[in-house]
C-alpha cells in the first residue's frame, strides 16, 4: 500500500514539476497566468515537497521501490508527462495559426516545436 501511495505522489510531483518547467521556459504571452503570480513559488516548493514525501514513503516500503521511483521521476516521467503537458497548455491552433503556418507548423505538430519558448538571447529585464 505504501509503495502504491508513493508512486502516486511521485506522479503528482512530476506533473507539477512539468507544469512549473513549462512556465519557466514559456514566453510571457504563452505562460499560464498562475505562474506569473507569487503562487508560482508555492507550486515550485510543492513539487519538491511531494518528491521528498514520496521518496520517504517509498523508502519505508524498501530501498528498491524508492530507487525505482526516484529514477523514474527524473528519467522516465519527463518523457511521458512533458509532451502531454505542452499539448494541454499551449493555446489552441486557431489562435496561433497565423503566426505558425509561415514557419511550417501544422495543427498536428505545432506543440512539438520550440516557438513558444523565451528567446535565450534576450536579457531578463528588471521590474
Residue 86 lies in a domain: yes
In this prediction, residue 33 has a pLDDT band, given cuts at 50, 70 and 90, of confident
**Angle, helix 2-25 to helix 77-89, in steps of 10 degrees:** 50
Q: How many residues comprise the chain?
A: 127
Number of domains into which the chain is organized: 1
48 lies in which domain range? 2-103
Q: Per-residue pLDDT tens for 80-119?
A: 999 999 889 999 999 988 989 998 888 888 888 888 888 7
Q: How many CB atoms lie within 10 A of CB 32?
A: 14
Residue 15 lies in a domain: yes
Closest CA to 16 of 69, 89, 109: 89
Residue 58 lies in a domain: yes
Residue 122 lies in a domain: no
Q: How many CB atoms lie within 10 A of CB 8?
A: 12
Q: Per-residue pLDDT tens for 47-71?
A: 999 999 999 999 999 999 999 999 9
Amino acid at each position: 500500500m505504501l509503495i502504491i501511495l508513493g508512486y502516486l505522489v511521485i506522479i503528482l510531483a512530476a506533473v507539477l514539476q512539468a507544469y512549473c518547467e513549462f512556465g519557466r521556459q514559456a514566453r510571457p504571452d504563452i505562460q499560464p497566468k498562475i505562474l506569473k503570480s507569487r503562487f508560482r513559488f508555492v507550486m515550485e516548493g510543492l513539487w519538491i515537497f511531494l518528491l521528498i514525501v514520496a521518496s520517504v514513503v517509498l523508502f519505508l516500503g524498501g530501498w528498491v521501490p524508492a530507487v525505482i521511483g526516484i529514477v523514474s521521476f527524473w528519467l522516465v516521467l519527463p518523457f511521458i508527462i512533458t509532451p502531454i503537458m505542452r499539448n494541454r497548455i499551449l493555446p489552441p491552433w486557431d489562435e496561433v495559426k497565423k503566426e505558425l503556418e509561415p514557419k511550417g507548423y501544422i495543427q498536428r505538430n505545432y506543440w512539438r516545436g520550440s516557438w513558444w519558448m523565451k528567446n535565450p538571447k534576450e536579457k531578463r529585464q528588471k521590474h
